[in-house]
Amino acid sequence: MNKKYFHVAGMTIEVRSDLPFNKNTFASKFDAFETSGPLEENIVLHHHFSSSLPLLELECSDKLYFRPPWAIYQQDEQWIYQRIKPKPPHKNYYQTIVTNKEHSHLDIYNDDTIKQKFLDGNLTSLTMFPTDQILTGRLLAYKKGCIMHSLGIILDGRGYLFVGHSDAGKSTMAGMMKKNGAQVLCDDRNIIRKKNDIYTLSGTWSHGDVTDVSSKTAPLVGIFFLNQSAENRLEPVQDETTVFESLLACMIRPLETRDWWEKSLDFLTLAAGEISCWNLKFNKDGKVFNLIEGMSHE
Q: Please indicate, yes or no, if residue 30 is contained in any of the structural domains.
A: yes
* Per-residue pLDDT tens over the stretch 50-72: 877 666 767 777 888 888 888 88
Any bridge partners for residue 280, and if so which?
A: 226, 234
On whether both 180 and 281 belong to a single domain, the answer is yes
Any bridge partners for residue 227, and if so which?
A: 281
* Per-residue pLDDT tens over the stretch 118-153: 999 999 999 999 899 989 999 999 999 999 999 999
Torsion of CA 100, 104, 105, 106, to 10 degrees: 80
DSSP letter string over 118-172?
HHH--BS-SS-SS-THHHHHHHHHTTTEEEEEEEEEEETTEEEEEE--TTSSHHH
The rounded distance, in Å, linking the Cα atoms of 296 and 298 is 6
Looking up residue 176, the CATH number of its domain turns out to be 3.90.228.20
Q: Would you give the DSSP letter of residue 251?
A: B
The rounded distance, in Å, linking the Cα atoms of 127 and 105 is 12
| Residue that is last in its domain, among 130, 153, 177 | 130
Query: Can you give the pLDDT at residue 297?
Result: 59
On whether both 282 and 175 belong to a single domain, the answer is yes
State the pLDDT confidence band at 84, using cuts at 50, 70 and 90.
confident
Among 259, 271, 269, 265, smallest CA distance to 103 is for 259
Query: If you compute the radius of gyration of the chain from its CA atoms, what whole number of angstroms results?
Result: 20
Q: Please indicate, yes or no, if residue 166 is contained in any of the structural domains.
A: yes
On whether both 213 and 287 belong to a single domain, the answer is yes
What residues contact residue 70 under an 8 Å CB cut-off, 6+ apart?
A: 81, 82, 83, 84, 134, 255
On whether both 97 and 195 belong to a single domain, the answer is no
Check if the beta carbon of residue 225 is closer than 8 Å to that of residue 277.
yes
* Per-residue pLDDT tens over the stretch 227-262: 999 999 999 999 999 999 999 999 999 888 888 999
Check if the beta carbon of residue 190 is closer than 8 Å to that of residue 133.
no
Q: Please indicate, yes or no, if residue 77 is contained in any of the structural domains.
A: yes
Check if the beta carbon of residue 193 is closer than 8 Å to that of residue 144.
yes
* Per-residue pLDDT tens over the stretch 89-120: 766 678 899 999 889 999 999 989 899 999 99
* Per-residue pLDDT tens over the stretch 259-276: 899 999 999 999 999 999
On whether both 170 and 52 belong to a single domain, the answer is no
Q: Is 159 exposed, middle or buried (0-12, 13-18, 19+ CB in 10 A)?
A: buried
On whether both 105 and 199 belong to a single domain, the answer is no
On whether both 19 and 121 belong to a single domain, the answer is yes
Sequence length of the chain is: 298
Among 250, 90, 219, 225, smallest CA distance to 154 is for 219
Query: Can you give the pLDDT at residue 252?
Result: 96
Number of domains making up the chain? 2
On whether both 280 and 165 belong to a single domain, the answer is yes
On whether both 114 and 217 belong to a single domain, the answer is no
The rounded distance, in Å, linking the Cα atoms of 255 and 5 is 25
Model pTM above 0.75: yes
On whether both 188 and 59 belong to a single domain, the answer is no
Task: Find the domain containing 265 and state its range.
Answer: 145-296
Q: Please indicate, yes or no, if residue 138 is contained in any of the structural domains.
A: no
Query: Can you give the pLDDT at residue 167?
Result: 87
* Per-residue pLDDT tens over the stretch 174-222: 999 999 999 999 999 999 999 999 999 999 999 999 999 999 999 999 9
Check if the beta carbon of residue 251 is closer than 8 Å to that of residue 138.
no
